[in-house]
């Protein structure tokens, strides 16, 4: 079995080039494959390999005080889902192109997966406000699955989200809006930006869809979750379709 990990962490990186070089060497030593993005605002990674090598990589990374509280989402697959290792220095670890959206000093309020599941079952938050789930992913990702009755937007890039959401802003004013994405990184930026732009009723789903699947399962979710590797999409049990067919 291959252990797959997805993680991101916002923290100030003084020398992204040096960190990228260091992480590449560690990943190559463990024969890991996947993608590692490094920017001045932090890191974003999707890696896969044998479990012992993944654990060593994570132990080394968390030994750095900047990443000591790194949160990682795990899943397993029968085969290696990445063709090669790519380590890149980027301007942002997820492109949004708006100033002040990296949560280096604060993050937008978050809702835990079990709380969101309760709100979905109730149809409202704990204060009785109606619930709106806002999908911040693009239309291709949404096509594989999303939360039932979620507000989805006809976007191809994350950078298009603010403009696409504009026509809905007035209608959302009386709701508790929970933004969500694959693993949480887009919500970190989107929710922070939207709150600064006057939407103080926006929360983010902590850990994204993958974190929800891991902690709650598929309650309220329809379909699968698109992922950025050869597995294509995972079901609420965090299994790719190919693995389920093989088991069946």
Averaged confidence pLDDT in the chain: 94
Beta bridge partners of 39: 42
CATH code of the domain covering residue 217: 3.40.250.10
**Which tens digits make up the pLDDT trace of 4-32?**
999 999 999 999 999 999 999 999 999 99
pTM above 0.85, yes or no: yes
At residue 99, the pLDDT reads: 85
How many CB atoms within 10 Å of residue 120?
19
Is residue 103, in this structure, part of any structural domain at all? no
How many domains, the chain? 2
The DSSP element (H or E) to which 113 belongs, if any, is: helix 113-122
pLDDT (average), residues 203-227? 97
Residue 248's pLDDT is: 31
The answer as to whether 102 is a domain residue is: no
Do 118 and 75 sit in the same domain of this protein?
Answer: no
CB 238 within 8 A of CB 183: no
Collapse the DSSP code of 50 into the 3-class scheme (helix H, G, I; strand E, B; otherwise coil) and give the result: coil
Based on the fold, state whether residues 40 and 121 are members of the same structural domain.
Answer: no
Asked whether 26 and 98 are in contact (CB, 8 A), the reply is no
Q: Give which of 222, 228, 191 is closest to 206, Cα–Cα.
A: 191
Last residue of a domain, one of 58, 89, 120: 89
Evaluate whether residue 100 is within a structural domain.
no
Is there a single domain that holds both residue 125 and residue 243?
yes
pLDDT band of residue 247 (cuts 50, 70, 90) is: very low
Active-site residue set: 181
Distance, in Å, from the CA atom of 228 to the CA atom of 183, rounded to the nearest integer, reads 11
Between strands 42-49 and 33-39, the pairing is antiparallel
Instruction: Return the pLDDT at 242.
Output: 60
Residue 32: which domain range? 2-89
Establish if 25 belongs to a structural domain: yes
């Amino acid at each position: 079995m291959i252990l797959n990990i997805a993680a991101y962490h916002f923290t100030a990186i003084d020398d992204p080039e040096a960190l990228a070089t260091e992480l590449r060497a560690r990943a190559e030593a463990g024969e890991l494959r996947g993608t590692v993005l490094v920017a001045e605002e932090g890191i974003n990674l999707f890696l896969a390999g044998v479990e012992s090598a993944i654990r060593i990589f994570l132990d080394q990374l968390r030994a750095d005080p900047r990443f000591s509280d790194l949160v990682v989402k795990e899943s397993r697959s029968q085969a290696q889902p990445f063709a090669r290792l790519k380590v890149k220095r980027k301007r942002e670890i997820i492109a949004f192109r708006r100033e002040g959206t990296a949560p280096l000093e604060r993050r937008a309020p978050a809702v835990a997966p079990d709380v969101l599941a309760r709100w979905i079952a109730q149809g409202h938050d704990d204060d009785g406000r109606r619930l709106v789930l806002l999908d911040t992913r693009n239309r291709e990702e949404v096509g594989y699955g999303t939360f039932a009755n979620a507000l989805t937007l006809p976007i191809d890039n994350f950078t298009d989200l603010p403009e696409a959401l504009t026509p809905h802003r007035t209608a959302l004013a009386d709701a508790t809006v929970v933004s969500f994405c694959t693993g949480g990184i887009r919500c970190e930026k989107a929710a922070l930006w939207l709150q600064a732009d006057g939407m103080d009723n926006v929360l983010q789903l902590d850990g994204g869809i993958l974190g929800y699947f891991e902690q709650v399962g598929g309650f309220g979710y329809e379909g699968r979750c698109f992922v950025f590797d050869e597995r294509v999409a995972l079901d609420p049990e965090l299994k790719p379709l190919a693995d389920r067919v093989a088991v069946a």
